[in-house]
Amino acid sequence: MSGSGTKTDGRVERGNQTRRLVLGRTMDIASIEGLDGLSLGRIATELQLSKSGVFALFGSKEELQLATIRAAVAVFADHVVTPLKDVPPGARRVRELCRKWLAYSSGRVFAGGCFFYAVTAEFDARTGPVHDAVAQTRIDWTAYMERSLTEAQAVGDFAGDLDVEQLAFEVIALMEAANAQSVLLGGTRAYDRAERGIASRLRASATDRGREGLDAE
């Protein structure tokens, strides 16, 4: 029993390692070429893996695409959301959330810039499970930004009549515009402009207490 369990555990771990290897590559491909650029055969060839082994892990191109989206969500959370888990709700937390997003994009965590910006442009007018999964990432991210603003409003850092949905929309638009311009044209000036624009929008909506948080380092 012990030997059999050890062999099974070894196979499972090798499968997990292969899965991580594959998804690391597919996330970078998708951020540059889109999710349609993925195929089981291509990944097996590039990573020198057996096609049957990759197929056994993912089953189909669609499942590979969906798994890639899920993996990208986890990477995004690790770089943008999790680092702020100990920062209390407030204007400073919103500012740092935006800064983390800009750093995630400008630092090319994904080779093609923001993974989700790339695949949204690819699938926005389509239908099906992959479109739905991409759309859900946008819904979840927007809701998270709105919740962060609402929490900051609740502690008195933003005005009581703040239009949270509008401010979240504008802040996300500035971040995505910086990503798009930098990926297309190169350079990082767009991120500086986005950060200045976001800071201006947050300060315009903040209370005196909130401005103190925005100015804190």
The residue type at 59: G
For the segment 13-32, what is each residue's pLDDT rounded down to a tens digit?
777 899 999 999 999 999 99
Q: Give the phi and the psi of residue 38 in degrees, each rounded to 5.
A: -90, 140
pLDDT for 57: 92
Domain that holds residue 150: 2-215
Number of domains making up the chain: 1
For the segment 177-197, what is each residue's pLDDT rounded down to a tens digit?
999 999 999 999 999 999 999
Low-confidence ranges of the chain (pLDDT < 50): 1
pLDDT for 4: 61
Q: What is the CATH number of the domain that holds 128?
A: 1.10.357.10
Report the predicted TM-score, pTM, of the whole model to 2 decimal places. 0.91
Three-state SS sequence of 130-182: HHHHHHHHHHHHHHHHHHHHHHHHHCCCECCCCCHHHHHHHHHHHHHHHHHHH
pLDDT for 128: 97
**Dist. CA 101–CA 80, nearest whole Å:** 6
